[in-house]
Amino acid sequence: MRQFSEKDINSLDKIYRLNLINSITGYKSANLIATQSKAGNTNVAVFSSITHLGSDPALLGFILRPTTVPRHTYSNLKDTGIFTVNHISSDIISDAHHSSAKYPESVSEFDMTDLEVEFKYNYPCPFVKNAPVQIACEYQNEYPIKENGTLLIVAQMKTIYLQDKLLQEDGWVRLEDGNVVSINGLDGYALPKLLERFDYARPKKI
């Protein structure tokens, strides 16, 4: 089995280290966060750090890289207080990945890809059209992570849209039926397959 000590990790080539450390923690969620500036410029970017934080209230969080350089997603959501989370399906992975390219604020990633803007019921923030799951979110708070200068953004889910076929009778969402992908590392996209779903785990009788 291959071993990397702390010294080994610190001495690795930058790209090799990025690939290793980003992929070693396992598969991550694959989402597009869409925002719109006060001037009306739309923005969409791929994120692999979105995670469930709580169900009551319905909260999610994601990690934002240091704001020492322009982060259009961050500036837009801070200015407007809202953003949308859109699941990535297998048929849009190339365009979704390209949304990570660094364009000027005046250039929308929607215009540089085949991703399509969708507005719903006068909600003043774009969704990604045909995404199997779409979540309208409201910014709540942020927490600086001093160890590396990143931010944990916390938001409340305000409205959820999902394809009918994904929703099970008990409220569980079967993402596999929407071809929802996950991300391995920075640039690997995988299509998960459900192996089993278990009952709520309770202690065994002794």
Give the model confidence (pLDDT) of 1-20 as tens digits.
Answer: 999 999 999 999 999 999 99
pLDDT of residue 196: 93
Question: 70 pLDDT exceeds 80?
Answer: no
Q: Which domain holds residue 160?
A: 27-180
Q: In this structure, is residue 50 part of a structural domain?
A: yes
* In a domain? residue 190: no
- Rounded to an integer, the average pLDDT of 80-87 is 97
The per-residue pLDDT for range 136-154, each reduced to its tens digit, is: 999 999 999 999 999 999 9
CATH of the domain at 161: 2.30.110.10
**What's the structural domain count of the chain?**
1
Q: Is residue 188 part of a domain?
A: no
pTM of the shown model: 0.93
In angstroms, rounded to a whole number, what is the distance separating the alpha carbons of residues 180 and 183?
10
Residue 80, domain member (yes or no): yes
Q: What pLDDT band is residue 205 in, cutting at 50, 70 and 90?
A: confident
- In a domain? residue 145: yes
189 found inside a domain: no
**Within a domain: 191:** no
